[in-house]
Structure 1
């Protein structure tokens, strides 16, 4: 006589608990995404009180965008992202390496962590308004420079492309380097101390240890940081929008792709806005794919070879 299988399966409860997420994703993300792609193939806009379309026009919206200033705005977005991201990742790596080095006795480390993370808690709109007030021609920065005799007349920081782009890059750097530092610190602290001890016993210096041991072992977090930064850079909107009053001045050198998209949404040109959204989605996907492949290769022995290289370099 065979015994009955009294094993209970709890899999259905797992599906039940994740059902709300998929329902919300389907309603609020997937359907709008599909609808955006659909509208990108249609002529659909409003002219005054008259509504034109939706009329199917194929790829005409995509071609029209290529004939517009979109490429120039993409260049602006890239420049603004580089100005903010390059110092961000350099400073974050430097601080993360210092804070996690057990040989450096830093007192009050928790206080420093809180301080560098605080700008991330400030809303971007408040940050932009603060910088607008600080660096205006009648602001405190110009007042200080005039009072100490460094300049003879107020500097129009937001009257030049270099000044405006520098301010936007500085704001993005200050808002996000703390978050990046905390993530990189967590990645470095997850590395086994035995690896660093073996590296020191082999005579490897701090610089070689950083480049040949630390960096290869935190590649997944570096890839995540770079990918999220690329997505955030392509979606840059609030800081330049508020700082330049939505105009991208001077001469639209601070106009980003999302500001360009917002202008189409404001004029209710949904077809062009949908096509531009699809362009952004494709560019984000391609860039993230290349970053992931570059930072996460299939070579599983890369860390071991890096350690051998560091060992060999230290003995040379």
Structure 2
């Protein structure tokens, strides 16, 4: 098995290398997931069916599930001017759908800029890939983009785990990260939506977000987040604020705790609440009389509710 994983790494590396590109690779991610494929199949899929081929632009279609629907028009025009002068430095990558019909795997910006530049044909690598192989290759390529923010990386990690059936250890091997790094990114998805948006928009750094994650209560998380933004706190200052809030919270819990809290049942309930709160990224309340009880999971918005439903794997459609 270890040998196969190494083969996969080489295949993906060969597919995704971008040593000579003058623009970022774009990612085209389909959502349909057919039956599982083997590691060997993916490695084989990374081998081009031919060398660089000139393909008429009119025969190429963009992937309808391209995750980035907005492209900076000014940047596209600049790239189009560069292509007019220098041509395409790095070919795009496509897969063949039928005779004279191709679909982009990577190179959306180069493709769009080439059309703006008036090119009739564009150099391309043709790859063999079914939908699941294309999904995995596109997601990994997406992660390797230099300008991805932490939330985009976390979402890509989550998709690789859920849609490609990868464990965190396997994911770490595929993307060249250790398990701790992968876990830290995934934990960002447990933060309240307002904080995730701030990370996505680069208003909050990964270090600041990681400090806030250590607080379980979402109301306290939002308090720390707003104070961080308003006062432009550094990572170290955020960590100090987190410690202060945590100490005050622990002191209040100790003062308000009933005398029966020391009983074995209360300790078990307390531990369960802590685990559930950590799992759902929000404060979960568990009540029980020893025989029956209830679990309350609050949500802050429709987006937060959808996040909880995703964790519970509940579909509303």
TM-score, shorter chain, exceeding 0.5 = no
Q: TM-score range by the shorter chain?
A: under 0.3
When you count helix as a share of all residues, which structure comes out higher? 1
Larger CA Rg, structure 1 vs 2: 1
- Which structure's residues are more often strand, by fraction? 2
TM-score by length of 1: 0.20
State TM-score, norm by structure 2.
0.20
